[in-house]
Amino acid sequence: MDEKLAVLAEYLSGALPGAVLGSEIRHHELCCKIEREAVPQVLQFLRDDPKCRFTVLVDVCGVDHPDRPMRFDVVYNLLSMSLNQRIRLKLETDEEQPVPSAVGLFNSAGWWERETWDLFGVYFSDHPDLRRILTDYGFEGHPLRKDFPLTGYVELKYDEEQKRVVYEPVQLKQEFRSFDFLSPWEGMDKILPGDEKASSADAEDAAGKGAA
């Protein structure tokens, strides 16, 4: 299988010069890094070329690397049922530079691109209906970004006086909103259920050591 993927990688590099920037085989899967503006060209070639026939777009997803200038990877996973092969395409972009939409080539891309826009904020140009798909109307931010606060910006509740559902800003300590993942409960004052037993046991141990 790896030999066939290596042949395919060499074939794509020769057929799409400038569009395919590099490739590697990892876990028996071929992953190609491509130029952002070349997305339609590469996808159409993979779909229509008789040596490829990747006719199924399995999904489109995003990866956030907030420390990079081009912080997002957009990943395309395709399947060739006739050749029993898979290929993964990756490209880099940021919050401002749009990625050409693949809806004109694969109908399923409409849902995947909307999800990537909703959760990561990656914009797809020429998409016919780029709206949020998982979050609510009026939602602020993109929840799968690494710098998105764990509790969000607003909370939803039912207001008895107004007799309707309302949004209110989340009232939490800043220490909790941006914790360092080493002490997730730092900034919380209340004792969680079960913690009082551990505290009392620690106090008894300390008392016993003092008496000894």
pLDDT tens-digit series, residues 96-146: 999 999 999 999 999 999 999 999 999 999 999 999 999 887 788 899 999
pLDDT at 47 over 60: yes
Q: What pLDDT was estimated at residue 72?
A: 97
Region of residue 203 (phi > 0: left; psi between -120 and 50: alpha; otherwise: beta): alpha
Q: What pLDDT was estimated at residue 192?
A: 61
∠ CA 79-94-151 to the nearest 5 degrees?
Answer: 95
H-helix segments, 16-93:
39-48
Mean pLDDT of 147-159: 81
